[in-house]
Chain A
Amino acid sequence: MRGKAVIAGIGHTAFGKQPGRSTVSLNIEACRNAVADAGIEKNAVDGLLVKVPTSKVEMMYGQKLAEAMGMSPRFGGVFDQGGASNISMIAIAAMAIEAGQCEVALVTLADNPRTGSRHAYEKVWGDDADFGWSSVVAGYAMIARRYMHDHGDVSDIHAAIAMACRKHGADNPHAQLRLPLTREMYDASPWVVGPLRRDDCCLVSDGAAAVVVMSADRAKDLGVKAPVPILGFGQGNSSIDVPLREDLTETQAGVSARTAFAMAGLAPKDIDVAQIYDCFTITVAMTLEAYGFAPKGKLAALVKEGGFEVGGALPLNTSGGLLSETGMPGLQLVLEGVRQMRGFSSNQVLDAETCIVSNQGGIMHTHSTLILGRQ
C-alpha cells in the first residue's frame, strides 16, 4: 500500500477562540478549505470520517455532520480513539479506498473546549475523585514522575521540546501562541500538577482541520496539484489505564511506529522532519524514544544545540504543535507534515523528503503513526 494513497488537500479554521460556533460549522469550514485546496468538487467526495468532539460527545455525530454537509457518503462515521483517531481515520480511509469502498474521503476534526466545555479535560476520575484524582494533566504527571525516577532529571529535555515548539509557533502566522519561550521563562513557569509546569502543557483551543484522502491514480485523474504520498501508517493501543500499567513509562507507540516504518520500508534514520503529538512535553520525549530516534533515557544527545529546531538533528513540530499552534488534538500535525512535503512550511526543512507524524489519545491509551513522502 506504500504510496498508493495520497493526501490531496488540507484545510483548517482559525485557531484560538471561536465563540458561538458549533463543531459542525467548524468541521464544514475546514472541509470547505480542504476540498478547495485539493481543487476538487464536493460531489467527488464519497467518504466522510470524523473524530467525535471531545468536549461534547454526541451519538451519530458522523451522520449529523454529513446531513449538515448535504452528503450521503458511501463510507463514513466516527472513530473514537481520542487524539489518535485522526491518523487512524486517514489509515482507514486509505484502506477503504484500496478495498473499493469509496474513492475520495474527507477526514475531519473539530472541537471547541476553549469557548465551549472544558469538562473532558478537567474531569474527576470516577470513584477515585475523593482522593482529589482529577484532570488529564495529572495522568501525564504520574507518568512523568515515574519517568524521571527511572531515567533521571528530564527538565533539559522538556525545556528543549517546549522551546522548539514555541520558536516554530512564533514563525507561524496561524499559531495561537506566538511568544517564544526562553529557558528562564520555562524554569519560572508555575507548576500545574508537579512535575509538569504550565509550559509543559498544550493550549486549549477551538478550531477544526480536515484532509482529503484519495488514491494516487485518482489524484492524477482529477488534476490534484500537490498530492502528498502516504508511505506508511500504524497504530497501537495501551488501553490499560495509567495506574494499572505494569510499566508507566511503556506505551504501544513503538508498535505503532514499527508498523508504519515496515509499511514505508524506512527506518528512523531516514526521517527528515517530525510532527510529534505534544499534549505535554513528556509525551514527545517518550514518543521519540519509542520511535527509535534515541535509546530510552538517552534523548539528551538529540537536545544539544537546538536539535529539535529547524537546522537541527531532528526538527520537530515545525508549525508549533499543540504547545504553540493550537491545542487541537492532532490533525494540525498532519497538515504541517503535508506542508513540509510540499515545501511550503513557514519553517521549511530544506529538501525534506520524509515526515513522520504521531497522534495519541487519552493518557497514552492510544497511538497512531503516519509517514508522508514527497511526490
Chain B
Amino acid sequence: MTAAPYDTYRAGLDAGRLTFQRCRACGEAWLPPREDCPHCWSADWGWEEASGKATVVSWVVYHAAFDKRFADRLPYNVAIVELDEGPRMITNIIEIPPDEDVIGRKAILAFERDHDRLLPRYRLDPS
C-alpha cells in the first residue's frame, strides 16, 4: 500500500522540501497532489523537487478573520504563485511593500515555522 499523494507531499514539506508531481506519460506537472494526471488521466507519475523560483499570479489582503486563528494577524495577505516548473499554489508573501502591485513579480521559496509546521512561503525577489 503506497502513501496517499497528499501525505507524501506533506511529508516533503515537513522535511523542508517543496515537491510536485509530474506525469510520465505526458509530462504535465501539477499541484495540489492528486492520484491521476489531470491532463491525460494517467496514473503513472513521479515526484520532483521544486527549484523554489516562482511568479506571483494574484494576491489579496484579509481585513476580516473568517478563520479565528488569524484574528490577531489582520491585515494579512494570501497569494497565488506559479512555480517556474508550472504548478500553482496558495501561499503567503513575506512582506508586500505598501501600495505595490506585486502581480508578475518573481518570488523565492522561504520556509517558515507556523501553526506547528513548516509552511512554504515566498519572499519577493529583490532583483
Name A residues whose Cβ lies closer than 8 Å to a Cβ of B.
Answer: 122-125, 127-135, 138, 141-143, 145-146, 149, 190-195, 242-244, 248
Contacts and interface: CB of A to CB of B under 8 A. Distances in A.
A138 B121 CA distance: 18
A127 B60 contact: no
A194 B66 contact: no
Given A127-B6, A132-B76, A195-B60, A244 B70 contact: no
Contact of A134 (B67, B88, B89, B115): B67
Interface residues of B, number: 33
A132 B92 contact: yes
29 contacts: A122-B66, A124-B66, A127-B32, A128-B90, A130-B117, A131-B90, A132-B62, A132-B69, A132-B78, A133-B78, A134-B66, A134-B70, A135-B64, A138-B60, A138-B78, A142-B58, A142-B59, A145-B103, A146-B57, A146-B103, A149-B58, A149-B103, A149-B104, A191-B63, A191-B75, A192-B64, A193-B60, A243-B90, A248-B58
B61 interface: yes
B39 interface: no
Contacts of A124: 66-67
B61 A191 contact: yes
Interface string B6-36: 1000100000000000000000000010000
A143 B119 CA distance: 24
Nearest to A145: B58
Contacts of B119: 130-131
Nearest to A242: B80
Interface centre among B59, B69, B78, B101 (most CB of A within 10 A): B78
Interface in B60-100: 60-64, 66-67, 69-70, 73, 75-76, 78, 80, 88-92
Contacts of B73: 132
B66 A145 contact: no
B61 A194 contact: yes
Given A130-B114, A143-B58, A149-B103, A193 B90 contact: no
A283 to B, nearest CB: 16
A307 B57 CA distance: 32
A145 B90 CA distance: 15
Given A138-B78, A145-B58, A146-B57, A131 B91 contact: yes
Given A127-B32, A132-B69, A145-B58, 6 more contacts: A124-B67, A134-B66, A138-B66, A143-B58, A193-B60, A243-B90
A243 B89 contact: yes
Contacts of A138: 60, 62, 66, 78
- The 9 A-B pairs of least Cβ separation, nearest first, read A194-B61, A135-B66, A128-B90, A141-B60, A146-B58, A122-B66, A191-B63, A149-B103, A134-B66
A244 B73 CA distance: 26
Contact of B90 (A123, A125, A146): A125
Nearest to B31: A244
Contacts of B75: 191, 194
Contact of B63 (A127, A146, A194): A194
B103 A193 contact: no
A191 B74 CA distance: 12
A195 B75 CA distance: 12
A194 B60 contact: yes
Nearest to B77: A132
Contacts of B57: 146, 243, 248
Nearest to B9: A127
Nearest to A122: B66
B63 A192 contact: yes
A251 to B, nearest CB: 15
Nearest to A190: B63
Contacts of B78: 131-133, 138
